[in-house]
Structure 1
Amino acid sequence: MDGTRSAAPINLENVRKQYPDGTVAVEGLSMDLAAGETTVLIGPSGCGKSTVLRMINRLIEPTGGTIRIDGTDVGRQDVDKLRRSIGYVIQNVGLFPHQTIRTNVGTVPRLIGWPKAKIKERTDELLSLVSLDPARYGNRYPHELSGGQRQRVGVARALAADPVVLLMDEPFSAVDPIVRTRLQDEFRRLQETVRKTVVLVTHDIDEAVRLGDRIAVLSEGGRLQQFAPPAELLASPANDFVREFVGGDRGIKLLAVTPIPREKLRPAEGAVAPSVAAESTLQEALAVMLREGSSQVVVQSNGTPAGLLTVDDIVAALAAPQPGQQPEVVTTDGAQPSKPTR
């Protein structure tokens, strides 16, 4: 892997994991994950999503197939060197309880021999990046922080050595819903800044839709049922399994990932209605309509009305095909689809 890159593509080719008792956790999984994007692995309990994650950094060794990061077969790399080049965030954080927050964050840079001054500079930078003042929190211990703060420290530690890949295994599931939403917002902001190749495991479809650039829906045995951007997945599930998994309210979820169709706005001259920014989603526009008791909103672009959006326009936008919508054909018996391409 090229250590000068901030992100790297991941290629999984016919990856398989079978345990000694004959259990097949993952059966012939193939996917191409783009550099700098967040790919979410989702599916029912026991579908192999966490196994896939752990095979990428070789916490679990695959029994077949090939995993490549930036074109390099991870199975041919020194395992310690590999893991130090990959950030890893788990559900319960796993901070060292008797080390300060600053020391925890600097764990990997210390292992690979960074100078002390560089480690301190990097840890302070990352604590600030995850909205923890290093002067206030750097010398505290994990038990002195809230669950949400500890999770932020876990993310900072995973990013400390500037890895090209960040693996996240249900990172926000151990905190309450309000903190979880804040952490998701923090992650989205952080990813816009660092642009790592992220592979995130979750069991929550709303979290997958909110955080993922692409979502891979897995069924039992790690069989890939659909691999698509959130809007495409919600608008056009590939089969009955995906349709049932994303839920009957997928139309509501679709609102959150569908931008306002600026090219189809009505003239706004003389309209008296609440306003929303042009960058808003249909969900945000509908929320304003409901809050204000209005059937329309004026869409503002740089302080100037760009047009009028009505409830009927929202319904029409949801019914229209999504950009690039070409769902993969997957049989309902769970047969493996053809390898997704980008």
Structure 2
Amino acid sequence: MDATALEQSGPAGSAASITLEHIGKTYPDGTVAVGDFGLEVRAGELTVLIGPSGCGKSTILRMINRLIEPTKGRILIDGENILERNAVELRRHIGYVIQNVGLFPHQNIRTNIGTVPRMLGWDKKRINERADELLELVGLDPARYAKRYPHELSGGQRQRVGVARALAADPRVLLMDEPFSAVDPIARGRLQEEFLKLQATVRKTIVLVTHDIDEAVRLGDRIAVLAEGGRLLQYAPPAELLSRPDSTAVGDFVGADRGIRRLAVTPLRPALKPLDRGAPVDGRPSVAADGTLYDALAAMLAANATEVVAVEDGQPVGSLSRAAVFDVPQQEAEAKV
């Protein structure tokens, strides 16, 4: 794979597929970090690797950008074997975000974001424009933050800068190793929501490592559940994983309360009972029509109601009963059998 291919931008070149073919990592002392692991990550999707400590999640991530060299197997980006490329050059075209961000403390934010573009030989004007563009994209005003230093930012703000830096050279692949775990729960939720909006805009191929099942369900297009030695237990969209765990081990890992989590990833629109636009709401609580069954249930519980009205563009478009909220996931699960 040549550098030109990796530098493509725009709709056609903004994301790339990742194929892991029987990759493994065994250390000289005989320790098997990853035995035999295979996975297909679709272009433009966010895949989450999750599992207990020591199951090889971070090792797999680091093998993709060759911070760790695999002992066996092949790693393909858009069908090209990256193990045949220069490792340093490869990393310049793969975005990488880590838990503690790793910003350079002696450099201001704009300079931090421009790290990889400088290595690629971009001119100063282009680097500064790109840095400011990305600051705006992650919700930080360039006029206010570009010349600040990392210690002058909150943990959540530094994490946003870390994401901006990873996107600076417009990579088609973004790797994230527990990117939000170092911030407090409230800030984490906000960062996750903002990240989803960002991904909807940039549509990168993302592999994200986390130990938090709620984060995996909220962010992932697909979730890979791993066991010790990098063994893949199940790889599926969040709703399928929660409704139909392949094994007792997966069911135990995603938790006994997976039914509630299932509601949070199930759109309410397909379950709506038609309602004429302009029809009276009759005091029933309302929720956005593009929300989830969890949103509908929360609105009902808050108002002590048995039905909710879905609203779109300020007009009611459908209704949903409390019984239907619990019935829909079960019906979908049975339909997959």
What TM-score bracket applies, with the shorter chain setting the length? over 0.9
- Aligned-partner Cα distance in 2 for 1:208–1:114: 36
State TM-score, norm by structure 1.
0.92
Query: What is the CA-CA distance between 1:305 and the residue it aligns to?
Result: 2.6
**Partner residue of 1:149?**
157
Shift of 1:301: 3.2
Q: Secondary structure at the match of 1:291?
A: helix
Unaligned runs of 5+ in 2: none
Q: Deviation digits for residues 176-205 of structure 1, max 9, x if unmatched? A: 101111111111111011100000000000
User: Aligned partners of 1:323, 1:306: CA distance in 2, in Å?
Assistant: 27
* Equivalence map 1:268-283=2 (5 Å): 272=282, 273-283=284-294
Give the conservation status (yes or no) of the 8 Å contact 1:12–1:32: yes
Per-residue CA shift, 1:1-20, capped at 9, x if unaligned?
42311110000011111111
1:303 to partner: Cα distance: 3.2
1:102 to 110, 113, 135: 110
Q: Aligned match of 1:240 in 226, 238, 248? A: 248
Give, in angstroms, the shift of residue 24 of structure 1.
1.0
Aligned to 1:299: 310
Q: 1:270, CA displacement in angstroms?
A: 5.6
Corresponding residue for residue 256 of structure 1: 264
Following the alignment from structure 1 to structure 2, what is the Cα–Cα distance between the partners of residues 117 and 32?
A: 38
Equivalent pairs: percent with the same residue? Answer: 64
**SS of match in other structure, 2:332:** coil
Q: In the alignment, what sits opposite 1:330?
A: none
Residue 215 of structure 2 aligns to a residue whose secondary structure is helix
Task: Give the superposition deviation at 1:321.
Answer: 2.1
- Retained in 1: the 8 A contact 2:117–2:168? yes
Matched residues in 2 for 1:201 and 1:178: separation?
A: 20
User: Would you say 1:165 and 2:176 are equivalent positions?
Assistant: no
SS at match of 2:89: helix
Aligned to 2:218: 210
Counterparts of 1:308-327 in structure 2, within 5 Å, are 308-322=319-333, 325=336
1:262 touches 1:306 (CA, 8 Å); kept in 2?
no
Unaligned 5+ runs, structure 1 = 327-342
> 5 Å matches for 1:129-140?
129-140=137-148
Provide the C-alpha distance between the structure 2 equivalents of 1:324 and 1:55, rounded to a whole number of angstroms.
38
Provide the residue aligned with 2:14 in structure 1: 6
The runs of at least 4 aligned residues of structure 1 exceeding 4 Å deviation read 266-271, 322-326
8 Å CA contact 1:262–1:278 kept in 2: the answer is: no
Q: Which amino acid aligns with 1:245?
A: F
- The residue that corresponds to 1:188 in the other structure is 196
Letter in 1 for 2:111: T
Relative distance call for 1:119 and 1:242 in structure 2 (3 A) is: same
Displacement of 1:267: 5.2
5 Å-filtered alignment, 1:117-132, equals 117-132=125-140
> SS where residue 286 of structure 1 aligns?
helix
